Structure 1
């Protein structure tokens, strides 16, 4: 390539090429600025709404940012005359290959999107999901993080959660504590129920409405079995659970109730088997009589 060829190229195509470069740079700078405005405004809008989790807002912002930046790159390629239709087809094929290889991961992603839309639970709820019981600490697009009551962090795939039964203990304002108390035969059942209702109602954080339930649940050989069911907020569940057990012990001790015992059934001789019945004395014979 000689100098004359370079001079001719600069005079004929150089100016146009320089204008395209300047236009691409300007489009990149302006596009990035506009993308930043859109993402920032979307995140502020979602945060102000208060109905979208911060984790979801962050992931939505990331997804929208990637899509807008991809469109910006395609627009810049158009300036240089690159046919983006073939590029888009190549990108779609690449995405299909990734989708086939990562089918399980995309299933978790799809389930995560549906969970964010349907909102079966939110961060801070106490749930049983995917066979794990605990407090939700993070909602991801691929997995959900739950902290169990024994302070263990569990990460469950969203597809497993969404395809199984979800128990949300935080939706309703009150949760019922399920306990039982057995009294001995001969104890005044109505007196025991009255004492327990008074004692349970004095436990801190027990809801007055609905009032605690103390009733006869069933009858056993040792004595009647009472159900003791106070209501409380989910955050105070275990405190009320243990305090109610303590109240049952203290109430029965103060009342002087005997400990329930299994009655002993004594068999009479008539109920014994013939081989076990007493044998009559045998008469003496022969030399024994002498």
Structure 2
């Protein structure tokens, strides 16, 4: 046995394999840089064409994944592996993965439908799958929603697509719903007039449609007013809190009494019923 000859052959094979390995690593690094450059150029082109940000992110994700798969196949071909066999193997693996990860593919399909039907876009304020907040990204499998308390929530696309979706940003304005309790002794027409005038002066409250102030219901304390100003979605909470302040300040300046629950007790020994106002200790 000629160990010298074996050593020379082994050295040649290792050298050849090492060179191929180094070439494959260089090919991967260069390919990754080219893919990143291509994705950036594609993103700029989409932005110049004023394509929706939602659609841009989705297309860039698909393009990046596809190009990386092509790069892996090219590297395997560089090593001399038959790529047609690899393609068949990849397809078979895809079927197996699809059977095992049906939920993941369902999220992918739902993401495609979200892009096609566009129930919402990036930047919209929505409620979907029980989560309320601003959409920051629609990905291949998940959608990122930033809630009002600044918590990033990742939701599966299939869960969103299968549930009801409320898009608060779709319409140019929305309604703020509040209630104002009046005492029995207060003239409700005067209260309605005062509130309408005060609410119309709140910043960012729309004049068209004008704020609605009407009797909503009645309870033991008196009539309850429905107070409904309109504003854009961006100013919702500012109008909400300012309207609450306006109700408090308007009723206080008008000198309205504090609403108290009243009911009548009929006694067996008395000839007439007397109105009773319960004390806090009696209520408790």
The TM-score by the shorter chain falls in which range? 0.7 to 0.9
> What is the CA RMSD across the aligned residues, in angstroms?
3.1
Q: What is the CA-CA distance between 1:52 and the residue it aligns to?
A: 3.5
**Residue 157 in 1 paired to residue 156 in 2?**
yes
Q: What is the CA-CA distance between 1:268 and the residue it aligns to?
A: 2.4
1:195-233 CA distance string (max 9 Å, x none): 000110111111111111111112222211110001111
- Corresponding position of 1:58: 60
> Rg bigger for which structure?
1
**Residue 233 in 1 paired to residue 235 in 2?**
no
Q: What is the CA-CA distance between 1:101 and the residue it aligns to?
A: 2.1
1:140-177 CA distance string (max 9 Å, x none): 11111112122222111111111100111011110110
CA–CA distance in structure 2, aligned partners of residues 40 and 207 of structure 1:
42
Structure 2 unaligned blocks of 5 or more = 1-19, 272-284
Pairwise mapping of residues 124-203 of structure 1 onto structure 2 (< 5 A)? 124-203=123-202
Q: What is the CA-CA distance between 1:34 and the residue it aligns to?
A: 9.3
SS in 1 for 2:87: helix
- Corresponding position of 2:206: 207
- Corresponding position of 1:117: 116
Q: What is the CA-CA distance between 1:73 and the residue it aligns to?
A: 6.4
Pair 36,71 (structure 1): closer, same or farther in 2 beyond 3 Å: farther
Pair 156,203 (structure 1): closer, same or farther in 2 beyond 3 Å: same
1:167-190 CA distance string (max 9 Å, x none): 110111101100011111131111
**Residue 46 in 1 paired to residue 50 in 2?**
no
Task: Say if 1:39 and 1:64, in contact at 8 Å, map to a contact too.
Answer: no
Q: What is the CA-CA distance between 1:234 and the residue it aligns to?
A: 1.1
1:241-277 CA distance string (max 9 Å, x none): 11101100100011111111111313222589xxxxx
Q: Which deviates more, 102-111 or 224-233? A: 102-111
Task: Say if 1:39 and 1:65, in contact at 8 Å, map to a contact too.
Answer: no
Q: Number of aligned residue pairs: give it.
A: 245
CA–CA distance in structure 1, aligned partners of residues 133 and 53 of structure 2:
21
Q: What is the CA-CA distance between 1:121 and the residue it aligns to?
A: 1.2
